[in-house]
């Protein structure tokens, strides 16, 4: 692979569809994807932007959370990662990557739909890291359903609890530990602005994340804490083959973007670094779209 920082045509920088069908049970594993996502394992280079910071990232075993964890470690942060026990295989790789950069890694397996786990994970992260400076709420649940009649109460419940309730529980628990200069980053989605018909419950939660982030930013700036959200478009993550898309749509995933391909997780990681670092000192209450040209409105 060409060095990703070498000037080149971004349309051809990473794999383009068609992709093979590759069904996985939820929550999915990056290790089983074809082609393998680039989370920055070899391609992200840091420059000390987060030296000495302590970060907690949910959904950090794969996808965007994994890319943020790798980038934060390369920038000098110690990182606690939250993931489902079923994702242990991917999580072990992330822990090894963080430690290879000489940073402390804390593994926190569990289910964020459980309020008790959400509240205890913050205390565990603070205890193991020795504090908390950066909170990234990224864990998400997405299952495609072609018609409203197919979205059961159980479906709706797990999407709401994973994407919204957990966000509230973890943030509420973390705020007392955050000092002036700290940063909270939420992962929203282009779905908040241009929802797909088949992602009814998922899109609803992502719109909620945008509103929550903006409201929370108004509270937190009184404490010197910044709050922002990132709204990704189509990114090549384990969320997609494990039910986030139909297998037919997966073969063409990202084709409709201006680039003709999906984004790779490493391509969005620098936005999380900016929002977490002091270089983003005048940024709060914002939503950063990284949508492959679709924009957000």
Query: Which residues carry out catalysis?
Result: 202
Burial category of 54 from C-beta neighbours within 10 Å (exposed 0-12, middle 13-18, buried 19 and up): buried
Q: Phi, psi at residue 15, to the nearest 5°?
A: -55, 145
Query: Which helix H or strand E contains 50, and what residues bound it?
Result: none
Query: Which helix H or strand E contains 92, and what residues bound it?
Result: helix 88-100
Decide: helix, strand or coil at residue 135.
strand
Tell me which DSSP letter residue 241 carries.
I
Q: Phi, psi at residue 142, to the nearest 5°?
A: -140, 120
Angle between helices 63-74 and 88-100 (to 10 degrees): 20
Tell me which DSSP letter residue 4 carries.
T
Decide: helix, strand or coil at residue 251.
coil
d(CA 85, CA 104): 20
First to last CA, the chain: 34
For 21, 68, 139, 255, the CA distances from 194, given in Å and listed in that order, are 25, 25, 20, 17
d(CA 18, CA 208): 33
Per the structure block, which two tokens stand in for 228?
Answer: 């922002």
- The single residue listed with the structure tokens 């397996």 is 109
């Amino acid at each position: 692979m060409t060095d990703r920082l070498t000037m080149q045509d971004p349309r051809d920088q990473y794999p383009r569809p068609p992709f093979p069908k590759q069904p996985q049970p939820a929550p999915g594993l990056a290790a089983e994807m074809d082609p393998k996502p680039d989370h920055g394992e070899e391609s992200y280079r840091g420059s000390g932007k987060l030296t000495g910071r302590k970060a907690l990232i949910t959904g950090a075993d794969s996808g965007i959370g994994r890319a943020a964890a790798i980038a934060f470690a390369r920038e000098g942060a110690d990182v606690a990662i939250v993931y489902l026990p079923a994702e242990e295989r991917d999580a072990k790789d992330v822990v090894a990557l963080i430690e290879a950069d000489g940073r402390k890694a804390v593994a926190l397996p569990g289910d964020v739909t459980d309020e008790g786990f959400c509240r205890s994970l913050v205390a565990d992260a603070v205890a193991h890291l020795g504090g908390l400076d950066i909170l990234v709420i990224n864990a998400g649940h997405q299952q495609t359903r072609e018609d409203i009649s197919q979205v059961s109460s159980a479906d709706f419940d797990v999407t709401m609890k994973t994407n919204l309730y957990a966000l509230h529980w973890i943030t509420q628990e973390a705020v007392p530990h955050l000092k002036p200069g700290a940063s909270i980053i939420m992962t929203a989605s282009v779905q908040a602005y241009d929802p797909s018909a088949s992602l009814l419950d998922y899109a609803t939660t992502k719109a909620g994340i945008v509103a929550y982030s903006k409201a929370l930013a108004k509270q937190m700036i009184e404490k010197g804490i910044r709050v922002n959200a990132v709204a990704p478009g189509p990114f090549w993550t384990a969320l997609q083959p494990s039910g986030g898309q139909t297998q037919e749509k997966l073969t063409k995933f990202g084709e409709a973007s201006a680039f003709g391909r999906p984004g790779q997780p490493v391509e969005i990681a620098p936005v999380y670094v900016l929002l977490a670092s002091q270089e983003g000192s005048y940024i709060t209450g914002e939503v950063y779209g990284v949508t492959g040209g679709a924009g957000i409105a």
